[in-house]
Every structure is written in structure tokens, then in C-alpha cells.
Chain A
Amino acid sequence: MKAVKRVDQFYLLKQLPKATALLCKKGILLDASCSWLDIFGLPPQDETTKTRVSSLYSEIPDLKRRLKENKSFSLRHKIKNTDGTRHLKSYFAPWFDEKENVIGTIIQTDDITSEVLKEQQVDWLNNILETKVEVSKTGWWEFNVQTEALTWCKETKRIHQVPDCFEPTTIEAFNFFKPGYSQNKVSMLFHKAIASNQSYNTKLMIITFNGEERWVRITGKPFVKEGKVIKVFGTIRDIHDQEIAEARVKEHQQLLSTLVDSLPLNVYVKDLESRKVLVNKGECNHLGKKVEELIGKTDFELYEEKDAQISREEDIEVMKNLTPIIGKETVSTLNGKTTHFLTSKIPHFDLEGKVCGLIGMSLDITAMKRKQEELCNLINITSMQNQKLISFAHIVSHNLRSHSANFSMLLGFLNSEKDPQERKRIIDMLTQASDNLLETLGNLNQVVDINTKTSETKKPLNLRNNIVKVLENFSALLDKDDSQIINNVEKDIEVSCIPAYLDSIILNLVSNAVKYKSPNRTLLITINAVKSNEGVLLSISDNGMGIDLDKYRDKIFGMYKTFHNRKDAKGFGLYLVKNQIEAMGGSITVQSEVDKGTTFNVYFNEES
């Protein structure tokens, strides 16, 4: 009976669905359910097998001691076999008889492999999340709508510079945002997320626990269950340093573009093909085009072929040899307008130090150039006048000296001369010297008048009429020997002139032609006048003796310079004419060939 009972009891044990085993007090396996044996890979048990439980739990060295304590406990362990590792959890409980005496231990073992694997996966995912948070510096937070509990992750706390133990309330969390725009905005967004299920993503400023103002990017995303938002999940990322760096870059860009645009220079950046990649306002204004119309264009599309070619050659030079051009004077012609520039071109390098184009700067110096020219003209005029003054001073001193020297010499003779006849000759000479001196003084006076009375007003005078008037003086002279004067001057030509000077100029030039006529030819004088934009050109040509200009070009308009053996030549007429025409802002030139004739060209300046 006892045996049957025992068999029954153990037979029941074998069939238990949950893996169960019984141990005697000595820790020897009495019997177990088939499922338990199966877990440990053991054969059916009887009195002879005597399996010690400690050998099955080799991982747990103090199992024996713990069994003796006669208390319930559980432990995790593993079994490795060919299918892999099985994770197990065993519950140990003392086994009592009817009289509550401990007679052994009951073990129940669960296979927890899938749970463990899940746990491992969760750990792994947590790890990933943690790493992500760490690497991206993006913290997260979570708000439970029902409990109103707010959770911050470690990184979120770090961003707020609060200790890890800090647990914020919603109000506290809002208060970290900078009062004003940031705080209002975040409350509004958070409210909308809960009330109308709207996600958000924005950039705001927080004031950290330590009082630092920092830019953060925050997001929020509501989670809905059964039509109601139950949770809001969000992230927070510290973007302060980037934001500041970005702001600084923007500031620099702003500064640079303002600078480049407001420089009184034409600035342009060209690529390796000399296409413009950047132009400033000055360059746009110069070319009369908008920025968009200039980007990508080369000089060939903007300037004349010749100018563009020069510019391109300079560009290549700069980019090939990496030697900058500094302050080179250049000229550009655009729509017929010429602009002078002081141009600099410097090679432009990319971040790797390779040349990628050039930076050009051109300073418009047209106005300066014009001033310089004016100045040069003024200097020329001044030095010419100075030259004239010096030569006049020499003329004066020379001519007056020669007369006074003659006086001294003659008076010396007179002192010692006794012969009355000779004395009379000397006195005649003295009279002649005195006349000469008077004449010279008269001439000099005339020249001084011309050069000092420049204020005498010019009047518009009919050229033809004045010529006709002067020629009347010559009529007696000309009739004598068939000489001819052809006056081709048109009726309506007017010149702006001082009347007396115009008469003097015509008279002197015509009488010059008469004086130096060829002995072999009948005199022919031709008078022409051409009106152009610059003024009127009067030409008086003859077929007379001519003059060797190779020898005398410098002297022809000089005072007291004569070139032919004529008693009535004084060397004063042309000097006077030149002074008169120049005093009126005009000029005179001469062309001549010996024994062919002479032409004097008189240019009248129409400006008053």
C-alpha cells in the first residue's frame, strides 16, 4: 500500500506540466517531472541514479548552503547544449511532511530564454538610445497628459545644467525658457500639441540653471490613444554654439558685403575662365547692369573685343604666375565713354590653397586724370609764358644795350674828334642811333601792350570784309606789276577777334608775301578760311621766295630775326603777329619751301 502510494505520488509528479523536481535533504534528486528531466537532459530517476543537484547548478557554488537554510529562493541559470543557450529560472522551496517537518526541497524550473532575449534587446536598444543622445547631444522628454508627470532624460538635464536628480514639473520646465517670446511660444506650442494634436519643431532660447542664455532646438510630438492625446514626447538640442557661429558668419558676411558694396571701387571676382562670379555695386553702376545680368559673363560679352582681350591676358597672367597686378593704369571704353582706371588684380585661392580665380579692384581715376591734364596744360602755358618773358627780357636788354653801346662809342669819338667834318658825321650817326632807339622802344611798347592789355574785348568780325579792307592798302602796290590776290573766304565766316589785331595780322602776313615775292614769278596770294568745330582757320599762301624751315623754324617768329637781305626787313612783323594771335588764345604755324612759296595758317580761338 505504501509502495503504491509512493508510485502514485511520483507518477503524478512525472506528469506535472510545470518542470518540477524533488530533492531529499541531502540534495539528491529523488524524482522529477519529465519536463524537468528534459530541461537538464537527465534519464528517468530511481533509487540507483542518485543525481546530486549541485552538479546540475554548477554555476551556483553556494547552492548547498542555501538549501540547508530551508527557505524559499529563486535563481537564474543557463544550460548550454547543441541548440544554444537556454535561460532558466528555478524556485527552490522547502518540502514539508504532514507534520510540517522539512523532508527535502521542491524545485520548479521555468524556461525564461525568450524573456531574457527580450530584456537583452531592450538593453541593447537603451544602449543605442543612450549613445545617440550622447553623440547628438539631443535630450528627450516625455509628458504624461493624465498624470501630468514630466520626465527628462540625462542629456535634457545636462542641457538645462541641472543635477541628475532634478525632476521638473511642467511649470518649472516652462520657466527655463527665456521670459517673453521664447516662454510664450513654448507654452503655446505645448498647449496646441495636447489640445489639437500638433507636432512642433522650433528654435528658442533657454536660461539654464546656471543663468546662461542658450539657443536650443525643441520638438514635440503628441501620442494619441482612442482619439485623445495621452502623451507628448519631444527632444531638445543645444544649438547655441552653432547658432552663435552662424550669427557670426552672417555678421561677417554682412560686414563684408556692405564693405565691398560701399567701397569707392569697382570690385569683381572672376573664375578661372574669367567669368564674373561676384560684382559690387560700383561695378554694376559702371556697366549699367544688374548683378544678375553680370554674373557668369566674361569681358568679351561686356566690352569691345580689343579691351576684353587685354583684360583676359592680364587675368591669365595673374592666375598662371600668381603674381598680383597692383595699381596698373587701364582704360576701358563703354558705349563710347572712356574711363581711366587704376586696376589691381590679385589671385584668388580656394580653401585648399589652389588658385580658383582672381579678385579685381578698379579705381575710377578719370576725374583725376582730367585734372592732371588740365594741370599739365596749365604748366605748359605757364612755362611757355615764362619762356616768352625771359626771351622778351633778353630782347629788351640786348636791343637797348646795343643802342646805348652805340651812343657811348659815338660820344667817345665826339669827345676826341677835332675835325669839324668828321664831327658832323658822328653827330649824324648819333641822330640815327637815337631814331633807331625810338623805333625799338616803340616796337617793344607794342609788344608789351599786346601782352598786358589782354582784357581788350574780342568782337565777332566778318573775316572777308576785314580782309577786303586791308587789301585796299595794297592796291597801288599790286597794280604796278600784275600781282594777284585771290580772296576765297566765304561771306558769312565770322571770327572773334580784337579788331586792331585782326587788321595787323592780315596786313603783316600779306605784306610779308609782297616783300618776299619771287623775282622770277608774278606774285599770287591765295587767302582761304575754313570753319570747323575748333574754330576758324585762315590760310594765306604765296608763291614767293619761301624760307628754309630746317634752318630757321625756331627763329621765324623771333624778334628782330630776318632771313633775307632786304633793307626794309626788320624782323618784327611776324613776332608781332604771333604775339597778337596768341594773346587772343589762337596760334599760328608756317609751311614753306624755298623758291616755291609760303603758307601761314592762323587758328582763331572762338572762346572768349
Chain B
Amino acid sequence: MKKVSCIFIVDDDPITVFGIKKMLKSVASCEDIQIFQNGHEAHEAIKERLKEGKIIPEVIFLDINMPIMDGWGFLDELISLDIKEHITINMITSSIDPLDYKKWNGFKNRCPYVLNFKNKPIFKIVANDLGCMDIAS
């Protein structure tokens, strides 16, 4: 059981959010799990936390297709915040559009954080998704 200080789940689909939360239960213990409907809300929350000096989420589960601000828009904003702490971001999408994969590759190169790409459906959250090297594998 890995201990994580704070996790953000950014997804407008309640079923996916339910699934992620359920899977997290078995692999991580976290006091502070926050749910956001879109990138804009999550971005605002991080800015708020930075301002108030609260802890920054260690792990973010990020959907791509969302209203108002999509996953890519959120990533852009996050990178520009220039946060020093270590963050692991898992992009979760049902898209099999090769354009999305290409875009992810582009972001991976300029993103200072760990950026994973996970295609739905997800059945399990592994240690790697929580920012630990999976020593066993």
C-alpha cells in the first residue's frame, strides 16, 4: 500500500471517476482525493493551493475530452505554473485517435513531470501510475 499525500481526478464521466476511485482503494492510501469536472476547475484548484501553500497533488488522473478546458489545455497551464514538486500525470482516454498519441508524445518531451498515457478500459492501477518505480517488474 503506497501512501500518497494528494490525488486529483479530472474527468467529466462519473463512471470513470467511480472506477478510478475504486481501484485506488486497493493500491494507495490517500486522505486527499479531489474530483474535478474539467481542466479549468482543476487548474483553479492548483493555483489556489499554491497561493495558500497547501500540498500540490502528487498524482493526477487526467481525461482528455472535457468541456471548457480539455486535458491538453490543463497540461499547458500546469507546465506554465512551473511547480518544482514531483507530479505523476496519467492521461486516461478512450480515444484511439493516433493524433492524440502524437500529441501526448509532444507533451512528454516538454513536460517536467512523469506523463503516462493510458487507454480505457483500465482494470488496475499499478505502482508506476502512482509515481513509484515498480521494483517487482
Residues of A in contact with B (beta carbons under 8 Å apart): 394, 397-398, 401-402, 404-410, 412-413, 425, 429, 432-433, 560-565, 569, 571
State the majority secondary structure of interface residues on A: helix
State the CA gap A365–B47 with chains docked (Å). 63
Query: In whole angstroms, how far apart are the Cα atoms of A413 and B20 in the complex?
Result: 11
CA distance A562 to B38 in the complex (A): 11
Q: Is the CB of A410 within 8 A of B96?
A: no
What residues of chain A lie closer than 8 Å to B22, measured between beta carbons?
Answer: 413
- CB of B23 to closest CB in A, whole Å: 8
**Contact assessment for A406 and B15 in the assembled complex, using a CB-CB cutoff below 8 Å:** yes
When the two chains form their complex, are residues A394 and B121 in contact, meaning their CB atoms are under 8 A apart?
no
18 extra interface residue pairs, beta carbon distance < 8 Å, beyond A398-B65, A409-B19, A433-B15: A398-B95, A398-B96, A401-B95, A401-B120, A405-B94, A406-B13, A408-B123, A409-B121, A410-B19, A412-B121, A413-B19, A429-B15, A432-B15, A560-B65, A564-B68, A565-B38, A565-B41, A571-B67
Distance in angstroms from A320 CB to nearest chain B CB is 55
Say how far B24's CB is from chain A's closest CB, in angstroms.
13
Distance in Å: Cβ of B38 to nearest Cβ of chain A? 7
B residues near A407, Cβ cutoff 8 Å? 121
Q: In the bound complex, what is the Cα–Cα distance between A525 and B59 (angstroms)? A: 46
1/0 per position for B63-87, CB-CB distance to A under 8 A?
Answer: 0010110000000000000000000
Contact A562 B16 (CB under 8 A): no
Interface check B37, CB cutoff 8 A = yes
Contacts of B14 in A (CB 8 A): 432
- Can you spell out 11 A-B residue pairs with CB atoms less than 8 angstroms apart? A401-B95, A402-B13, A406-B13, A407-B121, A409-B121, A425-B18, A429-B18, A432-B15, A560-B65, A561-B67, A563-B68
- In the complex, chain A residues whose CB is within 8 Å of the CB of B31: none
Shortest B20–chain A CB gap in Å is 9
The reply to whether A564 and B16 form a contact with Cβ atoms under 8 Å apart is no
How far does the alpha carbon of A498 sit from the alpha carbon of B102 in the complex, in Å? 42
B134 within 8 A of A: no
Q: Is the CB of B65 within 8 A of A409?
A: no
**Which residue of the partner chain, among B15, B65, B68, B95, contacts A410 with CB atoms under 8 Å?**
B15
Closest 8 CB pairs of A and B: A405-B120, A402-B94, A562-B67, A405-B121, A408-B121, A401-B94, A409-B121, A406-B15
Chain B residues within an 8 Å CB radius of A405: 94, 120-121
B99 (CB) vs chain A CBs: closest residue: A394
A412 to B38, CA, bound (A): 26
B41 to chain A, nearest CB (A): 8
Assembled-state Cα–Cα distance A125/B22 (Å): 139
Residue of A nearest to B15 (CB): A406
Give which listed residue, A398, A404, A413, A565, contacts B68 with CB less than 8 A. A565
Alpha-carbon distance A61/B67, docked complex (angstroms): 145
Give the docked Cα–Cα distance between A398 and B22 (Å): 24
Q: Are the C-beta atoms of B16 and A406 separated by less than 8 Å? A: yes
**Closest Cβ of chain B: how far from A219's Cβ, in Å?**
98
How many chain B residues touch the partner (CB < 8 A)?
21
Most buried by A among B68, B94, B97: B94
Chain B minimum-CB-distance residue to A403: B94
| Chain B contact residues: helix, strand, loop or mixed | loop
B50 at the A/B interface (Cβ < 8 Å)?
no
A433 and B13 CA atoms in complex are apart in Å by 10
B55 at the interface (CB under 8 A from A): no
Q: Could you tell me the distance between the alpha carbons of A394 and B96 in the complex, rounded to whole angstroms?
A: 9
A409 pairs with B120, CB closer than 8 A = yes
In whole angstroms, how far apart are the Cα atoms of A402 and B13 in the complex?
9
Cβ-closest chain B residue relative to A569: B67
User: CB-CB < 8 A to A409: which residues of B?
Assistant: 15-16, 19, 120-123
Min CB–CB distance B76 → chain A (angstroms): 12
Q: Which of A409, A425, A560 has the most B CB atoms < 10 Å from its CB?
A: A409
Give the shortest distance, in Å, between B84 (CB) and chain A (any CB).
29
User: What B residues does A571 contact at CB under 8 A?
Assistant: 67
Contact A401 B96 (CB under 8 A): yes
> Whole-angstrom distance from the CB of B11 to the nearest CB of chain A?
11
What chain A residues lie within 8 Å of B16 (beta carbons)? 406, 409
**Complex CA–CA separation, A226 to B38 (angstroms):** 134
Q: Are B95 and A564 in contact (CB under 8 A)?
A: no
Contacts of A562 in B (CB 8 A): 67-68
Query: Chain A's nearest CB lies how many Å from the CB of B131?
Result: 22
What's the nearest-Cβ distance from chain B to residue A391, in Å? 10
Q: List, in ascending order, chain B residues with CB within 8 A of A412's CB.
A: 121, 123
B22 nearest CB neighbor, chain A only: A413
B39-70, CB under 8 A of A: which get 1 and which 0? 00100000000000000000000000101100
CA distance A406 to B15 in the complex (A): 7
Give the complex CA separation of A404 and B16 in angstroms: 12
Residues of B within 8 A of A398 (CB): 65, 94-97
- CB of A402 within 8 A of CB of B67, answer no
Residue of B nearest to A425 (CB): B18
With a 10 A CB-CB cut-off, give which of A397, A406, A408, A571 has the most chain B CB atoms: A406
Interface residues of B in 6-34 (CB under 8 A from A): 13-16, 18-19, 22
Residues from chain A with Cβ under 8 Å of B38 in the complex: 565
**Cβ contact within 8 Å between B123 and A402:** no
**Which residues on A sit within 8 Å (CB–CB) of B65?**
398, 560
Residues 92-109 of B, flagged 1 when their CB comes within 8 A of A and 0 if not, give 001111000000000000
A569–B12 CA distance with the chains assembled, in angstroms = 12
Question: Quick one: CB contact mask for B119-133 with A, threshold 8 Å, 1 for yes?
Answer: 011110000000000
Question: In the complex, which residues of chain B have a beta carbon less than 8 angstroms from the beta carbon of A397?
Answer: 96-97
CA A280 to CA B48, docked complex, whole Å: 82
Nearest CB of chain B from residue A55's CB, rounded to whole Å: 137
The CA of A600 and the CA of B73, in the complex, are separated in Å by 27
The closest CB in chain B to the CB of A390 belongs to B97
